[in-house]
Amino acid sequence: MNERAPFAVIGGGPAGLIAADVLSAAGKRVVVYERMPSVARKLLMAGRGGLNLTHSEPLDAFMTRYGEAQAHLRPILEAFPPSALIAWVEALGQPTFFGSSGRVFPKAMKSSPLLRALLARLADRGVEIRTRMRWTGWDANGALAFTPDNGETEAVTASATLLALGGASWATLGSDGAWSEILRQRAVQITPFAPSNVGFTVAWSDHFRERFAGQPLKSIAITHGAQTVRGEAMITDYGIEGGPIYQLSPRLRAAAPVEIQIDLRPGLAKQDVEAKLSNTKPGDTLASTLRKTFNLSPLAISLLHENGPPPREPVKLAAAIKSIHLKVTGPQSIDRAISTAGGIAWSAVDENLQLRALPSVYAAGEMLDWEAPTGGYLLQASFASGVLAARAMLRT
């Protein structure tokens, strides 16, 4: 290994920047290469509505959020669990707090204060960040090849390389998945990308779409198969999106077209709904009954009508309130997804996230083939994989 060569981190998102932090803390020379004009654009976008760093639920429950990838991610998350991420953020001068749902946020809520603090620390340690540098693979001599904006290709020799280029769902922010073909040509197995944390298409009636697109369907539960998720969904002109849909998206994507069931009052048992309906005034309209008895919104009431006029008989109406059958025909495209499934197959990396086909080249973050719902799980795994890879690079 060339001791004078820097450690190269390609990609200036969460995984890449925390890896640069770990490497530079060990006194290593680090250069971060980013093809966009500035780093962490997706992180900044994620923080617009409040930066959800991680989640405080027990690790065993936390792991279930990663579905089929949880066995691969467990050692990564055990090496850098949510408590470690919280400590790292607070060491950067950004205190955190626990939301009512168990989600963890910086008190500043936005991403920018955390990013500024991290970049300042990296600068103090001499980490160089080179933007507008598109990675194009390796040259004939095995050096990293970059094409700067308005410049000629540069060859860079590195002691070790971390690839942290993100998934394929945010091309405008730098994550376009173009790296997949570069690695495929180097015999790295790539699982095809698929949209994750994405809305699904529903054939709404014209009346329903025109009146309710853009409105939230609150305090519901959505079921597919044996999995039920509570939360809030959003009606869109194309269909439905939101937390419960995002959490179910791997299952729905695999099965679509498929029916889901929406429970408009998950806090009430079916027999309690029946009892309340049996005690309503017979002269009231259906809309009035539903509004007064269950505080259903006009959106929820209209959703009951999407499969035809709902029954008035209490037992049948209770069944409809507790289980509206809704057909979703397929996910929206990758360019409308928050994240992607697919990427570098787990069989293509070792336990240190080193590419088996490319010694001294590591991968982290959403380049790897995993997916998770929103709620802090995406960032946690991205940060944790960057830390694990960087620690392994220090041992090379």
pLDDT digits (tens, 9 = 90+) for 181-234: 999 999 999 999 999 999 999 999 999 999 999 999 999 999 999 999 999 999
Residue 251's Cβ-side half-sphere holds a number of Cα atoms within 13 Å equal to: 20
Look over the chain and give the mean of its residue pLDDT values, rounded to a whole number: 96
pLDDT at 374 over 50: yes
pLDDT at 142 over 70: yes
284: confidence class by pLDDT, cuts 50, 70, 90: confident
Stronger pLDDT, 121 or 101, i.e. the higher one: 121
Please give the C-alpha separations between residue 141 and each of 145, 156, 157, 186, 358, in angstroms, as whole numbers. Answer: 10, 10, 10, 14, 14
State the residue for tokens 């709404």. 204
pLDDT value at residue 280? 84
Residue 79: CA count within 13 A, CB half-sphere: 19
Instruction: Please state the domain extents for the chain.
Output: 7-195+339-394, 200-331
- Look at residue 3 and tell me whether its pLDDT is greater than 80: no
Q: Which pLDDT value is given to residue 97?
A: 97
- Whether 296 has a pLDDT exceeding 80, the answer reads yes
pLDDT per position as a tens digit, 32-47? 999 999 999 999 998 8
Please answer whether residues 286 and 312 qualify as being in contact, where contact means their C-beta atoms are separated by less than 8 angstroms.
yes
pLDDT tens-place string over residues 49-73: 899 999 999 999 999 999 999 999 9
Say if domain 7-195+339-394 classifies as CATH 3.50.50.60: yes
Taking the C-alpha atoms of residue 10 and residue 394, their distance in angstroms, rounded to an integer, is 16
Q: What confidence tier does 282 reach under pLDDT thresholds 50, 70, 90?
A: confident
Confidence bin at 339 (pLDDT 50/70/90): very high
Residue 2 has pLDDT above 70, yes or no: no
Give strand ranges (E) for 131-226: 133-138, 144-148, 154-156, 160-163, 190-196, 200-201, 216-224
pLDDT digits (tens, 9 = 90+) for 230-247: 999 999 999 999 999 999
* pLDDT at residue 93 tops 50: yes
Q: Taking residues 157-171, report their average pLDDT.
A: 96
- CB 138 within 8 Å of CB 369: no
For the domain spanning 200-331, the CATH number is: 2.40.30.10
State the pLDDT confidence band at 309, using cuts at 50, 70 and 90: very high
Task: Report the chain's terminal Cα–Cα distance, integer Å.
Answer: 8
User: What percentage of the chain exceeds 90 in pLDDT?
Assistant: 94
Q: Which of 270, 150, 282 is nearest to 221 (CA)?
A: 270
Query: What's the mean pLDDT in 293-309?
Result: 96
Per-residue pLDDT tens for 263-281?
Answer: 999 999 999 999 999 988 8
With CA atoms as reference, report the closest residue to 178 among 162, 187, 166.
Answer: 166
